[in-house]
Amino acid sequence: MLYVLATNSARTSEVLCEYLRDRLAPGDEVHAINSHVGGDQTSSEAIRDGEGALDAVADAFEDVADATVTTHQFVRGNDPGTDVLAYAEEVNADELVIGIRKRSPTAKVVFGSVAQDLLLESNRPLRVVPRETV
């Protein structure tokens, strides 16, 4: 299986890796990606946080034998949802794995939601993992 994990923080990475750890089989591939629009819309802190998120994935699976982990941080002018979908298509992902958090209806409208975009636009299996326990 080839999994694409979309992450934006070390905490999200931890939760996604927890979910995926017991599901990995020999020969599986994990591609972790973090995406930012870039330019004035992306701070250096956001870039560092993205790097930390990707490092957390690499660290989580360093002791898993026979699993390949690849990380990518994209800063190429696309919104994150577009980058995730394009990358999943490029590598022919078997499954997308994303984290979600509880948000108010107003926050969803005002700030948008990458998870919502992926749910509506993806033609691949999508695993949604809650980022916090209720």
Q: What percent of the chain has pLDDT over 90?
A: 57
Quote the number of domains for the chain: 1
pLDDT confidence band for 124 (50 / 70 / 90): very high
pLDDT grade for 117, boundaries at 50, 70 and 90 = confident
pLDDT beyond 80 at 101:
no
Give the separation between CA 38 and CA 101, rounded to whole angstroms: 24
- 3-state SS class at 69: strand
Structural domain boundaries enclosing 77:
2-130
pLDDT tens sequence across 31-64: 999 998 888 888 888 899 999 999 999 999 988 8
- Residue 42 exposed, middle or buried by CB count within 10 Å (0-12, 13-18, 19+): middle
Residue with structure tokens 């002018």?
77
**pTM exceeding the 0.85 threshold for the entire prediction:** yes
Sign of CA dihedral 74, 77, 83, 86: negative
Does 103 score more than 80 pLDDT?
no
The Cα–Cα gap between 65 and 56 comes to 17
User: How would residue 110 be classed by pLDDT, with cut points 50, 70 and 90?
Assistant: very low
- CATH code of residue 89: 3.40.50.620
pLDDT at 106 over 80: no
